[in-house]
Amino acid sequence: MKILVTGSYGQLGNEIRVALQQFPDTEVIMTDVDTLDICNKNAVERFFEQNKPDFIVNCAAYTAVDKAENDVDLCYKINRDAVENLAKSAAKIGAKIVHISTDYVFDGTANVPYSEDVKVCPKSIYGKSKAAGEEVLMENNGQNSIIIRTAWLYSIFGNNFVKTMLRLGAEKEQISVVFDQIGTPTNAADLAKAIVEIIHTKTFVSGIYHFSNEGVCSWYDFTKAIFDIKKYDCKLLPIESSQYPVPAPRPSFSVLNKAKIKSVFGIEIPHWHDSLLKMTEKN
Ligand SMILES: NC(=O)c1ccc[n+]([C@@H]2O[C@H](COP(=O)([O-])OP(=O)(O)OC[C@H]3O[C@@H](n4cnc5c(N)ncnc54)[C@H](OP(=O)(O)O)[C@@H]3O)[C@@H](O)[C@H]2O)c1
């Protein structure tokens, strides 16, 4: 089996590399923008023809949510147009794609966890571009594609909320964090393990799936857990989102219902607090 990973220098890309170490017989091609710019249609087509991967795991994305509000063209180029390149080139060689999307495709007005059949209604440019990426993938390689929507991703690799709070908690006497945005964190190592498991041991069933860790919390609760684990003295104040204005609108409720991925693939998902503990042990 041959697996091509795009965006492999990112949080998830790195975790996929680690997860694939469990399968030493698998041939893995790790790429990022320096070796395979997914925006370059001809380069993608040529790369696929030459290497003939069985699976493409697309970890490449434009993920700067606030910057995207003023960087619309590049955001769409990476999150929609490049996904179309991957889908068309994969279809030509009969390759399967696992693509990652986001809870930001929802507007966050629900009060029960989002299942896959809820209509998307993104509010931010990033969310809109990711929803458009889902659409072009399904149009061009739908029979051979899995889309996994995830949320609040963090990892020992790259920059993320957990690492920021580990730093701020050690440096500051007091910080304020929003308590009115509710979701579920996802340790990228758990998502990577699930993706690798699906590819290696499960029957490939195309479609959209949701994956985060189990449980629910606000960003305030999440930060409280980080500070408690590290026994930081930093005082933590809950604030409303209106007190912390940012360029891109965030869904106020984006808990994902994971029943489908659990029942179709038999994936077991750890609780967010257990996974946070595992990550913070390494930091
Ligand atoms: N982070 C989150 O909280 C979160 C939440 C929900 C869903 N997701 C989704 O999860 C997936 C993985 O996210 P992540 O946090 O691992 O992302 P990440 O750390 O930002 O990594 C993305 C990688 O893609 C690379 N890339 C950008 N443009 C590229 C191009 N044209 N060709 C090839 N590679 C390119 C980036 O390089 P540069 O760094 O040089 O740009 C980076 O190495 C993404 O689809 C994201 O939308 C993330």
From the CA of 152, give the closest atom in ligand 1. Answer: 3
- pLDDT computed for residue 282 by the predictor: 81
- Domain membership flag for residue 227: no
pLDDT for 90 equals 98
Does residue 196 lie in a domain region?
yes
Burial class for 142, CB neighbours closer than 10 Å (0-12, 13-18, 19+): middle
Average pLDDT of the segment spanning 96-112: 98
In a domain, 80, yes or no: yes
| Residue 259: per-residue pLDDT | 98
Domain hosting 35: range is: 2-160+184-214+254-270
Instruction: Report CA(64)–ligand 1 centroid distance (Å).
Output: 9
pLDDT confidence tier of residue 129, bands split at 50, 70 and 90: very high
Across 76-99, average pLDDT:
98
- The residue to mutate among 6, 59, 62, 63, having the most atoms of ligand 1 within 8 angstroms of its beta carbon, is 63
Residue 13, token pair as written in the block:
């890309």
Distance 63 CA to ligand 1 centre (A): 5
Is residue 201 very low, low, confident or very high in pLDDT (cuts 50, 70, 90)?
Answer: confident
Count of CB atoms situated within 10 Å of the CB of 232:
19
Number of the ligand 1 atom closest to the C-alpha atom of 11: 16
Residue that is written with structure tokens 């929507």 in the block: 149
143: number of Cβ within 10 Å: 8
Contact 97, 134 (CB under 8 A): no
Q: Is residue 278 part of a domain?
A: no
How confident is the model over 11-65, as pLDDT tens digits? 999 999 999 999 999 999 999 999 999 999 999 999 999 999 999 999 999 999 9
* pTM score, whole prediction: 0.98
* Total domains in the fold of the chain: 1
Task: Say yes or no to pLDDT of 283 above 80.
Answer: no
User: The CATH number of the domain where 37 resides is what?
Assistant: 3.40.50.720
CA 168 and chain centroid, separation: 24
Give, for 100, the enclosing helix (H) or strand (E). strand 96-102
